[in-house]
Structures are given as structure tokens and as C-alpha cells.
Amino acid sequence: MEHQPLKSWADSAATLVAVAAGRAPADTVLRGGKVVNVHTREVLDGWQVAISAGRFAYVGPDATHCIGPDTDVIELGGRYLIPGLCDGHMHIESGMLTPAEFASAVIPHGTTTMFTDPHEIANVLGLRGVKLMHDEALIQPISIYTQMPSCAPSAPGLETTGYEIGPDDVAEAMTWPGIIGLGEMMNFPGVVSGSQQMLAEIAATQNAGKTVGGHYASPDLGPDFHAYAAGGPADDHEGTCEADAIARVRQGMRSMMRLGSAWYDVETQITAVTEKGLDSRNFILCTDDCHSGTLVNDGHMNRVVRHAIECGCDPLVALQMATINTATHFELERELGSIAPGRRADLIVTSDLRELPIERVIAQGRTVAEAGEITVTCPHLDWPDDARQTVHLGRELSAADFEIKAPDGVEAVTAKVIGVVENQAPTEALKRKVAVKQGLLEPEGAVCQIALVERHRGTGDVVNALVEGFGYEGNMAMASTVAHDSHHMIVVGTDRAQMALAANRLAEVGGGVTVWKDGEELALVELPIAGLMSDRPAREVAAKADKMVAAMQACGCTLNNAYMQHSLLALVVIPSLRISDLGLVDVTKFELTDLIEETQ
């Protein structure tokens, strides 16, 4: 059955009133269960729910009067009804999937609402790419709201993107039907310094009555943090410790605590609620970045809720953080996020509030998944050819492109090295002694090479640096056109010839991720749309992603979800040290820095 746009509460009110009063039959009645009320944080044993026109019409002790001859009556057998889960901040592109395939992957896990920031595709295709994501999101059987990306580039002057986003783009997007606000304002130094462009984007969002997303990735909670809060961001997901969470809610912001494929920031922050006793309604759970393997094998927002409970959070509080808190934050409390009259009929049937098995999912009044399997179709856009042809290297690369030349006559250097931190987005700024052979830096042991290959304009430019923490061994290389946020190409390797093979392979297939060892390709995940996404089914993409992870392990990498760490090494708004197409970036100072610190 083709998905029909949901009528507003106002347009449905006459029908909902008639059903609740018993004058008209409901489409669906669920009875014999327990309703979790996230408004009051209580479980209402024996309460029943009637659904009509895709919305909740009656929620009370007895819905018998709502049942007609054609009403679908679902017997719950003592199971719980909880609201459909909401992801308060996430990037669909990080799943390696289009909006349709991402929806198809998360619906069986109970996600019925997502607030997405497509700033990945904005860096590659600009406003047009955002519109394509927005348009496909609107036709899905669940609610997908789009935040207009705020920062492309994320740090002007420190990177070059395929396209740039400005205040006029933001103002235009605010008129689109599915735009819910401004995506994470990553250029926090720009806000703090009073950048006219950043403040104009925030103003355009506020003047449209929409929510401004935040991103303050500095550990400094002094005047700069307060200045950023004064600029208008309403939430932040970059906190990594309890003090970060507390600081944000004390400034009237919502603390968004994330559990993604590689970001484990819930456990270290949720103590603000579980131990310090702060008001939990100001805290929101989200994923930020989840790749397809996590979605298929581990789950989505259900995984985050379970994790929060494992970290000591009361199950009802954790559910509030993934439903009503999120809806309230985006001023949608009267539209979704709870099982209450007039709201979108989004709910989950589960037999356990701690383990959270997702036994049935209803979105906008119809069953969309049952027993872990999706039961509806998620429609696709016809993505245009130019969106599939975005990898432009300008020439074939060779091993020589990945050489790092040393100053004349030296035998070793002290170099700055990007230090990968497991399960964290920030990196360390390390210093290591690196040998010089025949005039070239030859890293050994834990240190290997990293390169940023320009892929938007075909310049043929390659920036080389050093990275530590992956544990790679032997002659290998890994390349990816997913390179947050400018999305050039990141190549990490121990052998320059392998690095050239990997880079050229991605140019050949139009983007994705590839792993090479000893001259052979061990794994390839094709991502032909903007070099970021595939429109193939999630299970198929996840299977290739699993092979990618196995290939990384075969090359010596034992980090949890190291692919996510790889893909963020060019994110020049998160400390401490990153790489861009312009050079090595010291994010603590927001300036370019030299790779070689001293010679020996």
C-alpha cells in the first residue's frame, strides 16, 4: 500500500472526537497490555488504545466503545505499549544508505522519528543535495525531519568543500515543508568571534521559529562556551563527560548524549541524571553516526535506550529521553513522542522494558514491522547521474604522491602525529620521532601514513601526514570517500603503493571504502551516491561493511568500529589534530600547523 501523507490533527479532529466518543469505529484497537505514559512517567496496566486516521483517538481504561465490525483488534497479552523512538540528532549518510534504505533498516528496531542533518551531502552537492535528501525523507512511512546544514565548510579557511552553504541557502530551506531547524553549528569559533555569516544563519532559523542545533567540541567551558550559548544553539551532542552535560543544561540547552557506532558518550554523561539528580527532561538520547553494520546487527535507538538502562538509568526515564524529550525540544510535543490523543500513532509493542525486544512497530497508524521484519515499502527517489559521479581525482595517482619529503641531510625528525582515541571523536596531538631514509619520512611501528586526496574539483592535490592508533601491520592501505565533513578522500596506510591502488580504485567505482593488502583488494563497499551512500538494501551494504571490518582486522586493526575513526580524521572542528586538503590542522588553535616540528 502506498504511503499517504498524514493529515494534521486539526484536519483529523472531527474523526478523532467521533471515535473517542464512540460515534465512529476506530481503525485499530490495542488491548490487554500496559501503556507507558511518558508524560507522567508511569505504566498504566490494562489501558487500551484506539487509532484512527493515523493518530491516537482514545487512550484510556476501556476502548470497547471504539470497536466496530471492521476494527482491527490487537490483543497484547500483557505486553507493553511504548511510544515510537525518536533519534534527536543523526546523519543518514553515516549509515552508508539513502533515506529510504536507512528507514528500512531502522523501522524494525522501533525508530519512528528521526531528526537528520544532511551536512555530509551538502559538502559534496550543496543545497541541491540537501533538497534530494529532504524530498526522499518526506515520502517515507515514518517521520523524518531535516535540519538545514549550517556549516559547509565546517571551518572556513581550513578546508575546501565541493559546495558552500550560506545564509541565503538557510533562509530558502526554512520554507521547505520538512525542515525542522538548523543543523549542528560546528563553527563554534565563528559564533564566539561574532561571525556575521554564522549569526545570520542562526537568525534566519530563529526568525522562522525553528530550532538551532549545536556543536561545541571544545573542552573549554569558560567564556567561549558561554558566548556560544548566547549565540542561540539550543542543544549539543559533543559532550563527553558529566561536566559537559551539566554545563549545557545549566545554560538552557538540551544535552544530547550519543551512542553511535564508535561514539560512546552516554555512560560518562548520564550520571548527571542518575547520580547528580538533574532534571532528566533536559536530556536527549541520539546516535549521531551509525554505519549500516551497526544498524543491521545491533540496532538503532533501541540500542541506545538499552545502553542507557545498563548505565543505571531508570527504564521510564530512558524512554522519555528517546521520545517526549526529543519531541518537546523540537516543539513537536503535541504531534509525536507519546501515546496520547491527537498525536501520530507511533508505538512499539514490547514484552520487556529493559531488554526492549521490538515485537511490533506501528507508525502513523499502520503496522510497519513485526517480529524484526519490515512490512512496508520505503520509496526511493530517482537519484540523478551527477549525484552518482562525484569522485574527480584529475589523474591517476602513484606511490610518489604519498611521499613525505624530509629536509635535506637529516636522519630523523620529530613529527606531529594524529592520535586515534578508541570510541571517541576527539583525537590526540602526539609527537613522535620518525626515521628518514633516502630523503623521505619512513614511519614504523604504530605510526603509519595518512593522506587527504582532493576529489571535488580534480586538482590532483594530495596532502600527507602521520597517524597512530589503528595498529596496522604489513603492506596495506585503506581509502574512503566518506571523510567528514568536506568529504574528499582519506587514505591511511603502511605502504605508499597500496595507498595509490586504494585511491585509484575508489575513483574507478565512484566512491566508497576499500581495503588493500599486498596488492590485493580485501574489501570494497561501493557508495556511488555522492561517494557517501548506496541505494542498495541495508543488509547487502552491511554485509560488505562487515567484510571491510574483517579486512581491517586482517591488517592488524583491533579498534572498535575503526572505520568511523578513519572517516572523521578530516573533521577540522573536533580537537585536537586533523588533516584537510589545505594541510595539517591544529583544532585547539583553529590554524594550520607544520607536520615536522624539529630535525635531528
C-alpha cell at 478: 585503506
DSSP string covering 389-412, please?
A: -----SS---GGGG--BPPTT-SE
**CA–CA distance, 20 with 28 (Å, rounded to integer):** 12
Helices (H), ranges, 458-537: 496-509
Identity at 269, one-letter amino acid code: Q
**CA–CA distance, 526 with 493 (Å, rounded to integer):** 20
Q: What is the pLDDT of residue 2?
A: 52
DSSP 177: T
**CA–CA distance, 139 with 149 (Å, rounded to integer):** 20
Give 62: exposed, middle or buried? Use CB within 10 Å, 0-12, 13-18, 19+.
exposed
Give 206: exposed, middle or buried? Use CB within 10 Å, 0-12, 13-18, 19+.
middle
CB 30 within 8 A of CB 76: yes
pLDDT along the chain (600 residues), means of 10: 79 98 98 98 98 98 98 98 98 96 98 97 97 98 98 93 96 97 96 97 97 96 98 97 98 97 93 98 96 92 98 98 98 98 98 98 98 97 96 98 96 97 91 97 97 98 98 98 96 98 98 98 98 95 95 96 92 95 96 92
DSSP 98: -
CB 390 within 8 A of CB 511: yes
Owner of C-alpha cell 603492506 = 475
Q: What is the pLDDT of residue 68?
A: 98
Calculate the alpha carbon distances from 517 to 33, 108, 212, 247, 412 in Å. Answer: 55, 37, 45, 46, 27
How many CB atoms are located within 10 Å of the residue 139 CB? Answer: 18
CB 74 within 8 A of CB 49: no
**CA–CA distance, 396 with 22 (Å, rounded to integer):** 71
**CA–CA distance, 353 with 82 (Å, rounded to integer):** 9
Q: Enumerate the β-bridge partners of residue 67.
A: none
List for the chain the helix, strand, coil content (%; round to 5).
30, 30, 45
CATH 3.20.20.70 is right for the domain spanning 84-336: no
In terms of pTM, does the model score above 0.85? yes
Q: What is the pLDDT of residue 1?
A: 41
Half-sphere exposure of 278 (CA within 13 A, CB side): 21
**CA–CA distance, 526 with 512 (Å, rounded to integer):** 5
Q: What is the pLDDT of residue 423?
A: 85
Q: What is the pLDDT of residue 263?
A: 85
The structural domains of the chain, with segments of one domain joined by +, span: 84-336, 386-593
Identity at 169, one-letter amino acid code: D
Which helix (DSSP H) or strand (DSSP E) does residue 583 occupy? strand 583-586
Q: What is the pLDDT of residue 599?
A: 82
